[in-house]
C-alpha cells in the first residue's frame, strides 16, 4: 500500500516533459542589428570576434535574458509581428539549467505563483522581454571588441557584476 501511494506522488520534472507542447522562443527579427547578432552567434555569419561564435541561438538568448533580468529591465517588441520564432525548446530541454533559469524568472515575476506552469506562453513572454533588453547590452559589449582583445566588453561587464556582488 505504501509503495502504491509513493508512486502516485512522483512527478516527472525532466526538462523534455516540461517543455512538451511549449511554443518556440523568439527574438526581435525586425531589428537588423539583433538579427545580425544572432546570425553571427549561430554560425550563419563567421565571426571569430564574438564570444558566441558557433554557439546556438538558445545560448545567446539565455545570456541576454540573464543580463536583462540582472538589469531589471524588460523590453517589449515594437509590435508582435517583429517577434521571430526560431529558438526551439528542444535544445533548451537538453540544457536543463536554461529551462530552470527561465522558469525561475517567471515564477519570481508572478510572486511565486506556480500557476504560471499552466501558461507556458507567459513564461516565454517574460523571458523574451528580458532577453529583448539584454541583447542590447550584449551588442554593446561586443561593440567594444577589438582585434587585439575581442572579449574586452564582456570582461568589463563581468568585472562590474563581480563588484556589485561585493556591495
Q: Is a pLDDT exceeding 90 seen at residue 68?
A: yes
Taking only the tens place, the pLDDT of each residue in 21-38 is 888 888 888 888 888 888
The answer to whether residue 143 sits within a structural domain is yes
- Alpha-carbon separation of residue 82 from 39, 85, 167 (angstroms): 16, 10, 38
How many other β-carbons are positioned within 10 Å of the β-carbon of residue 2?
Answer: 6
Count of structural domains within the chain: 1
- Taking only the tens place, the pLDDT of each residue in 72-106 is 999 987 666 666 767 888 888 888 899 999 999 99
Query: Residue 102 falls within a domain, yes or no?
Result: yes
Counts for the chain of helices (H) and strands (E), in that order: 8, 2
Report which of 87, 65, 83, 84 is spatially closest to residue 133, judged by C-alpha positions. Answer: 65
Strand partners, 26: 85
Q: What is the pLDDT of residue 44?
A: 53
Q: Is residue 1 part of a domain?
A: no
- Could you give the percent of the chain with pLDDT greater than 70? 78
The angle, 0 to 180 degrees and rounded to 10, between the axes of the packed helices 32-42 and 120-143 is: 90
7 assigned to some structural domain: no
156 part of a folded domain: yes
Which domain, by its residues, includes 23? 15-166
The pTM of the full predicted model, rounded to 2 decimals, is: 0.79
User: Which residues lie across from 43 on neighbouring strands?
Assistant: none
Amino acid at each position: 500500500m505504501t509503495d502504491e501511494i509513493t508512486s502516485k506522488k512522483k512527478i516527472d520534472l525532466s526538462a523534455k516533459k516540461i517543455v512538451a507542447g511549449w511554443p518556440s522562443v523568439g527574438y526581435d527579427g525586425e531589428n537588423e542589428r539583433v538579427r545580425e547578432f544572432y546570425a553571427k552567434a549561430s554560425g550563419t555569419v563567421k565571426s571569430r570576434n564574438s564570444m558566441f561564435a558557433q554557439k546556438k541561438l538558445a545560448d545567446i538568448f539565455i545570456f541576454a535574458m540573464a543580463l536583462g533580468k540582472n538589469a531589471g529591465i524588460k523590453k517589449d517588441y515594437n509590435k508582435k509581428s517583429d517577434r521571430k520564432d526560431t529558438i526551439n525548446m528542444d535544445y533548451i530541454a537538453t540544457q536543463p539549467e536554461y529551462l530552470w533559469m527561465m522558469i525561475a524568472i517567471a515564477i519570481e515575476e508572478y510572486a511565486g505563483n506556480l500557476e504560471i506552469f499552466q501558461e507556458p506562453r507567459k513564461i516565454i513572454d517574460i523571458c523574451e522581454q528580458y532577453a529583448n533588453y539584454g541583447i542590447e547590452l550584449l551588442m554593446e559589449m561586443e561593440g567594444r571588441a577589438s582585434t587585439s582583445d575581442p572579449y574586452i566588453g564582456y570582461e568589463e561587464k563581468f568585472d562590474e557584476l563581480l563588484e556589485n556582488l561585493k556591495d
